[in-house]
């Protein structure tokens, strides 16, 4: 089950792409908590 993951991490180019994708996902999740100026969050919650 973990063998394909282990093999993917051994390939430098694939490892770089996987880490880049994970970093983008983490930044997106963090950015979703930053309030946007000019948007009424109370109105958005309704």
Residue 32 φ then ψ, to 5°: -70, -15
Domain assignment present for residue 14? The answer is yes
Residue 46's pLDDT is 80
> What is the spatial distance between Cα 22 and Cα 25, in angstroms, rounded to a whole number?
5
The residue-averaged pLDDT of 24-46 equals: 89
Domain assignment present for residue 45? The answer is no
Q: What is the pTM (predicted TM-score) of this model?
A: 0.69
Q: Which domain holds residue 23?
A: 3-35
> What is the spatial distance between Cα 33 and Cα 35, in angstroms, rounded to a whole number?
6
User: Which is higher by pLDDT, 38 or 25?
Assistant: 25
Q: What whole-number percentage of the chain has pLDDT above 70?
A: 100
Please say if the pLDDT value at position 11 is more than 90. Answer: yes
Please say if the pLDDT value at position 12 is more than 90. Answer: yes
How many domains is the chain partitioned into structurally? 1
Domain assignment present for residue 43? The answer is no
């Amino acid at each position: 089950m973990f063998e394909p993951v282990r093999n993917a991490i051994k390939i430098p180019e694939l490892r770089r792409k996987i880490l880049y994708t994970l970093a983008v996902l983490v930044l997106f999740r963090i950015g979703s908590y930053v309030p946007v100026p000019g948007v009424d969050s109370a109105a958005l919650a309704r």
